Amino acid sequence: TPSPSSETSSSSHLLLCPPGIKCGGVLSAPSGNFSSPNFPGLYPYETECTWLIVVAEGSSVLLSFSHFELEYHAACAYDYLQVYNGASRDQGNLLGTFCGHSPPPPFSSAWHVMAVIFRSDRHVAKHGFAAAYRKDACGGQLTGLSGEITSPRYPESYPNDAECRWSIGGAGGGGPLTLVFTDFQVEGGQGCGFDYVALFDGPTAAAPSLGRYCGSARPPRTVSSAPHLLVIFKSDFNIGGRGFKAHFYSAGECQEVFTTIKGNFSSPRYPNFYPNNLKCQWSIQLPLGYRIKVFFLDMELEGRSSLTGGCDYDHLSAFDSGAENGSLLGQWCGRESLAPVTSHSNQLLLILHTDRNTAKRGFSIAYVGVVPMNVSCTRTDFHIQIPVQSLAGLERNRIYLGSPSCAAQVVGSTFKIHTRFDTCSTESQKRNNTSVIVSTLYIDFSAGEQEDIHQYEVQCEPKRKEASVTLIAGPDSSRLSQAENLVDAQQWEGEEMDIREVKSQDTSDIVFISICILAGLLMVIAVVGLVLL
């Protein structure tokens, strides 16, 4: 805080915090009011107050402000009020920091606890704030990037004559909202005239309807066209059910689909702390034949459980085949340096789960599609084949070995490169005391002024006629220092290859073997002739 002369004081006399002043505390009544010390007078200097609002479990807290006047600073670095979605001072729970004359918006907690912290420094006092809270048995305004809603008393039977409204969105998220029901059992009836859940594409019931549901069939996944979604649950005077459970998430920061050959994404608010209570997902969907290689550029999540040693709190999971019921490729937490992960198919789903507290910096990820190809070699030649459909739109001169003069040829539905070792910038090297032939395969995806060239190192051990291919530059060559051998990643599923070409042998070897066999036969004939004579 600067010196008194650099701030404009609202009072000519010095306000000292009276000895023994009390502020803050635990508020456990179903509803109540609280305010800054001395309100509506000027609050004292160097004061810190914490109010912990605790209502019945299964309910949420609705918080609103009727008056608000604190010292202003662009970053609220002097006097401020903070609202937390939970009990702890965890950055992931922080709903906002406020100062100045503009009151905070109404807040609804994600569970039954909310914390409010007020702090003043040693200069400039204002009149402070007045706030009110109440327990909301169901419904409320939900402003997080993701969250969960349930019917009253879920999973027990919901009460009769209930009416709940959840207004989702409107806290800076600009993308559509997705709502997914994981459980649903509501009294049925023709036209859903008794108990029902109604969805609206906006903040009020005047918005277009997205559906009205009852019975035991789960409603379909619903996506809004705007960053607002209204959910209304209503029950009549008799016959109930288990109710429902659903989760929502915002597109953009918390839910994205990637179809480009390479890309980058990160956890919400990265490199700042991610929010708590998230379920975010990123889906990568590439053409058939591709596999997806993921590089962890940075990762810091909440650490492992000290009891189980597992990632029981915040964690990132990767699923093959693009669905949660697919094969789990890995689950990570804490602060680790991770090796790249490669999918077994052309689709990959990554899901970030965060719990109610202890947020961290999050993660940054890059991915690249591994082009399906078959690389083989003889003692003198390289043979490379790539399905044309996997590089749709690319001209053959965008695919070359060593230099553009060694571009691929189109043979049927395949790009093919067949070249001798003494051409196409190949070179001989010693690796692990073994002589190998090495060259670089370039695939140029560049568009306009944006350069995008993927590089694969192709290698042959001539004596054993064994070839391998390794991705050496994709999303960011400066970050991909750890190349992973992709030999077993190059199996084509559903692609028929020209086996004769793949397994072609050096003709000089075949001639040599044929001469040896012929010489052996002539020798046997000569010996037999001598014996007969």
Q: What is the CATH number of the domain that holds 442?
A: 2.60.40
**What are residue 293's phi and psi, to 5 degrees?**
-110, 125
Instruction: Tell me which of 99, 115, 136 is where a domain ends.
Output: 136
Range of the domain at 284: 255-370
Q: Which residues contact 135 (CB under 8 A, 6 or more apart)?
A: 30, 31, 55, 56, 59, 60, 61, 62
Answer yes or no: is 504 within a domain.
no
Tens digits of residue pLDDT in 26-82: 999 989 999 999 999 999 999 999 999 998 876 778 899 999 999 999 999 999 999
Same domain, 125 and 151: no
Q: What is the CATH number of the domain that holds 220?
A: 2.60.120.290
Instruction: Tell me which of 80, 111, 136 is where a domain ends.
Output: 136
Kindly tell me the number of DSSP H helices and DSSP E strands found in the chain: 2, 36
Q: Structure tokens of 160?
A: 């009769």
Q: Is 297 helix (H, G, I), strand (E, B) or coil?
A: strand
CA 284/CA 291 separation, integer angstroms: 10
Same domain, 151 and 209: yes
Domain count, the chain: 4
Q: Which residues contact 321 (CB under 8 A, 6 or more apart)?
A: 327, 344, 345, 347, 349
Answer yes or no: is 20 within a domain.
no
pTM of this structure: 0.61
pLDDT > 70 fraction of the chain, expressed in percent and rounded:
83
Query: Which of 120, 104, 116, 108 is closest to 21 using CA atoms?
Result: 120
Same domain, 302 and 223: no
Answer yes or no: is 530 within a domain.
no
pLDDT at 12 over 50: no
Tens digits of residue pLDDT in 409-426: 999 999 999 999 989 989
Answer yes or no: is 1 within a domain.
no
Answer yes or no: is 186 within a domain.
yes
Query: What's the one-letter identity of residue 472?
Result: I
Taking all residues of the chain, what is their mean pLDDT, rounded to a whole number?
Answer: 83
Same domain, 401 and 479: yes
Going by pLDDT thresholds of 50, 70 and 90, the confidence category of residue 180 is confident
Q: Which residues contact 514 (CB under 8 A, 6 or more apart)?
A: none
CA 518/CA 529 separation, integer angstroms: 17
Answer yes or no: is 169 within a domain.
yes
Instruction: Tell me which of 90, 119, 136 is where a domain ends.
Output: 136
Residue 173's CB is within 10 A of a number of other CB atoms, namely: 22
Same domain, 382 and 469: yes
Answer yes or no: is 385 within a domain.
yes
Same domain, 281 and 356: yes
Same domain, 93 and 114: yes
Q: Structure tokens of 450?
A: 């944006």
Same domain, 42 and 69: yes
Going by pLDDT thresholds of 50, 70 and 90, the confidence category of residue 171 is low
Q: Are 341 and 269 in contact (CB under 8 A)?
A: no
Same domain, 379 and 314: no
pLDDT of residue 378: 94
pLDDT of residue 528: 63
pLDDT of residue 505: 42
Q: Is 516 helix (H, G, I), strand (E, B) or coil?
A: helix
Query: Which of 371, 348, 345, 367 is closest to 294 using CA atoms?
Result: 367
Same domain, 95 and 130: yes
pLDDT of residue 530: 65
- Cβ-in-10-Å burial (0-12, 13-18, 19+) of 126 comes to buried
Answer yes or no: is 231 within a domain.
yes
Going by pLDDT thresholds of 50, 70 and 90, the confidence category of residue 102 is confident
Helix (H) or strand (E) holding 509: helix 507-532
Same domain, 241 and 154: yes
